Structure 1
Amino acid sequence: MNPNQANTEASQTSDRYIGMWVTQDGYIRHELLPNNRYDEARGDRESAYQGRYEITGNRINYWDDTGFTADGEFRDGVLYHGGYVFYRER
């Protein structure tokens, strides 16, 4: 596989996850942006956390702008991250 093909496949993988992910109670709203950045709101705190993310297969890694790191996993259309369960907002 050439590097351009690998980049295209990685982009297609992450593209399907772009959008808003929310906890069942709506308290945490986690938006994955197309530029590999994320913006997370908690309660009435808009943009409580921001940073970058990278998706490889069904795994996601986060690097918060403050230096905090985290990871998660997409399984059956659900995002498991930081002890929380996120559902795709439609």
Structure 2
Amino acid sequence: MFLFGTAPVQTGLAQMNTDQKIIAQPAQSHPYAGMWVTADGHVRHKLLPNGRYDEARGTRESAYRGRYEVRGNHIDYWDDTGFTADGTFVNRVLHHGGMILYRKE
């Protein structure tokens, strides 16, 4: 699971909070990181090992970018433009936004 939040930063004797993101689990251990594509190849959804995603649509590379978090077989997305989405992994298939994406090995 990828966890994001705020972490206190120690500065001298004073302690202050920052909006620094923390990744709790090493990316290499995440089973869903990698490329996911629709059957026609139009949507290519790359789950990066650092908790970010990059989605291409047709000829438009990086059409959507943002961060994601996986809990069990559920995935939540927070796009850099402000919208949110979610999906579910079922038997090595990602169901997301009315689309079905398959793992590209």
Residue in structure 1 matched with residue 83 of structure 2 by the alignment: 68
Unaligned runs of 5+ residues in structure 1 are: 1-6
Runs of 4+ in 1 over 2 A off after TM superposition: none
Instruction: Give the TM-score, by structure 2 length.
Output: 0.73
The one of 67, 85, 88 aligned to 2:100: 85
* Other-structure match for 2:43: 28
Q: Partner of 1:21: helix, strand, or coil?
A: strand
Task: Find the counterpart in structure 2 of residue 4 from structure 1.
Answer: none
Q: Give the partner amino acid of 1:68.
A: F
Superposition RMSD in Å: 1.2
Give the helix-richer structure, 1 or 2: 1
Instruction: Give % identity.
Output: 65
Which residue number corresponds to residue 32 of structure 2? 17
The structure with more radius of gyration: 2
In structure 2, the residue corresponding to 1:46 is in which secondary structure?
strand
Find the aligned partners of 1:76 and 1:33 in 2 and give their Cα distance: 20
State the 1:29 CA deviation. 0.1
Which AA in structure 2 matches 1:74?
F
